[in-house]
Chain A
Amino acid sequence: MAEPQEYLVHHIQDALATDPRARELGVDVQVAGDRVVLTGTAATPAQRASIAEVVSELADGYEIVNEMTVLSAAEDGTIEELDMFPAHGLRPGRPGADPSPSRSHGRSDRARSDLASPSPSADARS
């Protein structure tokens, strides 16, 4: 009788952590019908392929659907400007620190009132 699917998922995840060809914990393994579906991110195309190879050796009789992506390492110049919270962090007791919100927020053009809610709108595309 075939191994219960829950145990198969566990065995696959163990193998992905320990097999020298994989060594990846960030793989989501789902067994659905006669398929094993892999999602998550591999560091390189070679690692993506070898992860599928490790899984196929364990999941005999299953079709391996490899939906993993490869780490995107493209460089871009996006900068998130972080207005420093005046009410937290380093003010108390630090020599040379400036406790004044108006001074630590001296960049009046950027000062925001919603200091307690970091938001995606803080992004500035360059």
Chain B
Amino acid sequence: MTRVAAVADIHVGVDSVGRVAAGLRHVNERADLLLLAGDLTRCGEPVEARVVAQELAKARVEIPVVAVLGNHDHHAGRTAEVVGLLEDAGVVVLDGTATTVGIDGTTVGIAGAKGFGGGFAGANATAFGEPAMKAFVEETRREAARLHDALVGVRPHADRVIALLHYAPVPETLRGERLEIYPFLGSHLLAEAIDTAGADLVVHGHAHNGSERGVTPGGIRVRNVAQPVIQRAYRIYDLGEPAVRAAPVAATG
């Protein structure tokens, strides 16, 4: 079994002390890996990131923790400090990058990026007109390209690959949100990048009123783990038995 616990949008503030730790008490025994899909903090203040770090320590989380930042984590403009505090607490923070985690002989690769908005096929923003509009679309293109490259880079080293995002790559996991705000919740450019590069599972958050389950146009499962959606401390996804490798590789792996 390769059990991946995942949650997004925990929105930790200074008044969250004790609340996160209470939900993570059993995560070590229930999962092999914990993914945090953005919006760890309420406004991206270092004092809030410190609470996240303290909560992980208080819960004695020993399994690997891999995160991406979300839009809330950017609000204060202090992402470098936030990332530093999380990394000091042992959290691997991905930003157009990838990491691998070994679990009982299976190597799980996680490629992560924040992502951004723009909407979905047929109702999406285009890089036309004012500089602000072009910049908006360019941000999404850049995030999608970095995610693609991170996925491609980690593939040769992993048996399973997970794409970790904050913004949504597909509209299916937005069901429940108002249609008018879909362009602010995600972009099909993210799904295209994932389908082109390949992955086994996509995990995202951001859409609090959305739905948990979706699939990319290329057939890769997507899960929206925003805490208001999943209504629990985290969800656990079992990626199955260790992948069957050629015998010599398995013997030395």
A-B contact count (CB 8 A): 148
The chain B residue sitting closest to A117, CB to CB, is: B215
Query: Do residues B200 and A89 form an inter-chain contact, with CB atoms below 8 A?
Result: yes
Known contacts being A23-B72, A40-B208, A71-B11, is A83 close to B240, with CB within 8 Å?
Answer: yes
Specify the chain B residue showing the minimal Cβ separation from A93.
B155
Of B75, B221, B233, B245, which one neighbours A98 at CB under 8 angstroms? B245
How far apart are the CA atoms of A93 and B221 in the complex, in Å? 21
B-chain residues with CB within 8 Å of residue A91 when the two chains form the complex: 198
| B interface, size bucket | 35 or more
* Chain A residues with a Cβ closer than 8 Å to the other chain, count: 47
Q: Shortest beta-carbon distance, A25 to chain B, in Å?
A: 8
A79 is an interface residue with CB less than 8 A from chain B: yes
Query: Which residues of A sit under 8 angstroms from B132, Cβ to Cβ?
Result: none
The binding surface of chain B is classed by DSSP as loop
- How far, in whole Å, are A41 and B226 apart by their CA atoms in the complex? 11
Q: B174 at the A/B interface (Cβ < 8 Å)? A: no
Residue of B nearest to A105 (CB): B240
Q: How far is the CB of A79 from chain B (nearest CB, A)?
A: 5
Known: A46-B15, A89-B220, A90-B161. A84 touches B228 (CB 8 A): no
- Mask, B11-51, CB within 8 Å of A = 1, is 11101100110111111001000000000001100000000
Contact A90 to B200, CB < 8 A, known contacts A80-B238, A81-B238, A120-B213:
yes
- 24 residue pairs from A and B, CB less than 8 Å apart: A23-B13, A23-B75, A24-B11, A43-B11, A43-B19, A44-B19, A71-B11, A73-B19, A74-B23, A76-B232, A76-B233, A79-B236, A80-B238, A82-B221, A84-B200, A85-B221, A88-B219, A90-B199, A91-B198, A92-B198, A96-B245, A96-B246, A96-B249, A104-B244
Question: What 7 A-B pairs are tightest by C-beta distance, nearest first?
Answer: A73-B23, A41-B228, A43-B11, A26-B208, A88-B219, A46-B15, A75-B233
